[in-house]
Structure 1
């Protein structure tokens, strides 16, 4: 019998804890009509082995390419092999071809899982369902199992940190924009590369959630950057009345 219900009755943290304690294997699907999004998390004996998000899948290949570990040609070759009938995952093919080391696959698969799971843990509305099924066989040198307990602990820490930012960044629907230039002397802007990427997408129309999707990073990471820029006065938020009127 599947485990399912609305998140308002059983929070996503409780769902993860239940699957961890009962050492379940299968797939947890979470759908949010409000967000027009859905995610899937795959469990093997209570541990998380894979995760994906519809609007922001954080694909392993994209993470590897962005980090410079592989080229577009490497990924094209791996996906071509899959289309030709190869049942292995992209990471398995890349390791077998000697393009990346197994430890790199492990690192970025963990990053992929964590980013999706932490985004899901911020959802307070929606519907979840879990269906038991045997875990998919994966080569041992490319298999990743992330402790659900560690994900819950880090997820709780992130939620606590976001709660301290809620006075300025209440949710992913906020729309940031550049603040008007002051009449005084202009100061030098010193930002990290990721902060510049966020800043370049501030058009007064895209909300935090859309920026996260565009950059393929978590809403939490974008929220922290926006909060910092709000604190320094570099940006401001479009009033909610304006965003509703333009919707």
Structure 2
């Protein structure tokens, strides 16, 4: 039985259960702008799933929560290991629960460029014992510099798991959200007034960073992200009386980031430069 179609017109959970009823064996491919993955069926049971580096149950929850894109079932024998033991009904219910939960959480954590500063030090044994191993891992990664997107990528866990735990840690007062990303306009820095190896940040911006936490007032490096998706870390200095919404760059650094005067870039202070 070959099945394919649009997820805008057919619920993926209905397709998943239909394949279960028909005791199908093969691969259910699901593809959209956001994800590309596969559910492995054997005799109607989902035995494994793969998407964005995830496998098993967590991958299945991601795929069964999709409502956009296309699906295609490929009838085929396969040698996938059995990493999922839950029934299709359990998988569908949990996928629906996660979808509803993440929708609620995303009203608070609306994007993944948010940076969090931990208010506990999990290196101290007396504080460490209050948290699970996964919470300790995230608290160690959320260092006031690394944004949520980077943490999700490095954690080896699903978006849902990371965002849910971060949401709960913030709600309990263990994390502070810090506003350190600044959208600034690129302006040329004349060689007379600065070094070729550094950018200049207006003192007002540095003052804003310091109000978020004093630790940012001592930063000597900045991370820059451009609209062309180039990014990197450079030395920075502070200068008073500059235009408060501009970052001043020498020509060589402008060339490095492929930006021109008037372009806008995201800038944040770096505590631990790479």
* TM-score strictly above 0.5: yes
Alignment of 1:215 with 2:155, yes or no, is: yes
**Superposed, which structure 2 residues align to 1:58-207 within 5 Å?**
58=55, 113-134=56-77, 136=79, 146-170=86-110, 173-179=111-117, 190-202=130-142, 204=145, 206-207=147-148
Counterpart of 2:136 in 1: which secondary structure? Answer: helix
* Residues 56, 213 of structure 1: 8 Å contact kept: no
Counterpart of 1:227 in 2: which secondary structure? Answer: helix
For 1:144 and 1:222, locate their aligned partners in 2 and report how far apart those are by CA, in whole Å. Answer: 21
**Please, which runs of 5 or more residues in structure 2 have no aligned partner?**
120-126, 184-224, 228-264, 268-274
Alignment of 1:56 with 2:34, yes or no, is: no
* Residues 29, 39 of structure 2: 8 Å contact kept: yes
Deviation at 1:168, TM superposition (A): 1.4
Deviation at 1:57, TM superposition (A): 3.3
Post-superposition CA distance 1:54-82 (Å, at most 9, x none):
x3134xxxxxxxxxxxxxxxxxxxxxxxx
Change (3 A) 1:146 1:180: closer
Structure with the greater alpha carbon radius of gyration: 2
Post-superposition CA distance 1:86-129 (Å, at most 9, x none):
xxxxxxxxxxxxxxxxxxxxxxxxxxx21110122333322221
Give the structure with the higher percent helix: 1
Matched residues, number: 178
Give the structure with the higher percent strand: 2
Structure ranking higher on relative contact order (CA contacts 8 Å, 6+ apart): 1
For 2:176 and 2:64, locate their aligned partners in 1 and report how far apart those are by CA, in whole Å. Answer: 27
**Please, which runs of 5 or more residues in structure 1 have no aligned partner?**
59-112, 182-187
For 1:26 and 1:124, locate their aligned partners in 2 and report how far apart those are by CA, in whole Å. Answer: 21
For 2:15 and 2:94, locate their aligned partners in 1 and report how far apart those are by CA, in whole Å. Answer: 16
For 1:239 and 1:12, locate their aligned partners in 2 and report how far apart those are by CA, in whole Å. Answer: 39
Q: TM-score, normalised by structure 2?
A: 0.53
Post-superposition CA distance 1:140-162 (Å, at most 9, x none):
xx786542122112222222333
For 1:158 and 1:41, locate their aligned partners in 2 and report how far apart those are by CA, in whole Å. Answer: 18
- 1:235 aligns with one of 168, 172, 176: 176
* Residues 20, 46 of structure 1: 8 Å contact kept: yes
Change (3 A) 1:135 1:180: closer
